[in-house]
Amino acid sequence: MSNPVFSDSAFERVGHSSSADSMTVNGSIMKTFILGLVFILTSFIVMSYLPNFYGSLNAVIMASAIGAFFVGLIISFKPTTAPVLSVVYAVLESVVVTVISIVLNQKYNGIVFEAVAYTMIAFFTMLILYRIGVIKATETFKSVIITATAAIAISYVVLFILSFFGIRPNWFYGNSSLSIGINAVIIVVAALNLILDFDFIEKGSSMNMPKYMEWYAAFGLILTIIWLYLEILRILSKIKSR
């Protein structure tokens, strides 16, 4: 669930527009709100119909996750598709996140509320730290976070492939102190990705990026928030299972 969206290369793939028809901070916020609303509405629909799919939850999660992955790749490499495909992405990710959340909440009552609360705390903490200048998106900072995110993404892919052969390392999937520690590091990296998101939105606005980049920015921000939420949900489930 790492964020491949916000890097300087994204600016190189698009041109500039007139100030009357260009990306704005407020526009990006509104698009993020719309995607969030789509995500929530889809979640309610999934909760309503989930009992009909109890026998095939793994298939539902797998199909939705793979679909979201490929849609995300298309948006990342072709930002002009963001106005349409970002909505599709929000729907697919909502299916995955909602099913996982329901299953874990049935096992650990209240875990979803906690995960949402901690995710919001992390989000607004990063936003405040960014706005007051405590954390700045310097080139060094970007390089470190992007490298760490890429390393995590590669690890996810390798672990996913290994799982097909029945290999599930305890240091990642278990609830040991090491596993929880690794999970905590990933959460920190995910949270710091929010700084890149905020910087991208401000820079895109100042550089008069095309209007569709608001959807691209919203997609990237939603992606990071979902990743952060799932990692927090994961670490809470590990702690509660001990």
Q: Whole-number mean pLDDT of the chain?
A: 90
pLDDT digits (tens, 9 = 90+) for 94-128: 999 999 999 999 999 999 999 999 999 999 999 99
pLDDT digits (tens, 9 = 90+) for 122-156: 999 999 999 999 999 999 999 999 999 999 999 99
pLDDT band at 41 (very low <50, low <70, confident <90, very high): very high
Q: How many CA atoms lie within 13 A of 228 on its CB side?
A: 25
- pLDDT for residue 176: 92
pLDDT at 84 over 70: yes
Helix locations, the chain, DSSP H: 8-12, 25-49, 57-77, 82-107, 111-131, 139-163, 170-173, 177-206, 213-241
pLDDT digits (tens, 9 = 90+) for 14-31: 555 555 578 999 999 999
- pLDDT for residue 9: 54
pLDDT at 49 over 90: no
- pLDDT for residue 5: 54
More confident site: 43 or 58:
43
Q: How many CB atoms lie within 10 A of CB 91?
A: 21
Select from 152, 154, 221 the least CA-distant residue to 188.
152
Select from 158, 103, 39, 178 the least CA-distant residue to 150.
158
More confident site: 48 or 230:
230
- pLDDT for residue 2: 42
- pLDDT for residue 12: 54
pLDDT digits (tens, 9 = 90+) for 169-222: 988 899 999 999 999 999 999 999 999 999 999 999 999 899 999 999 999 999
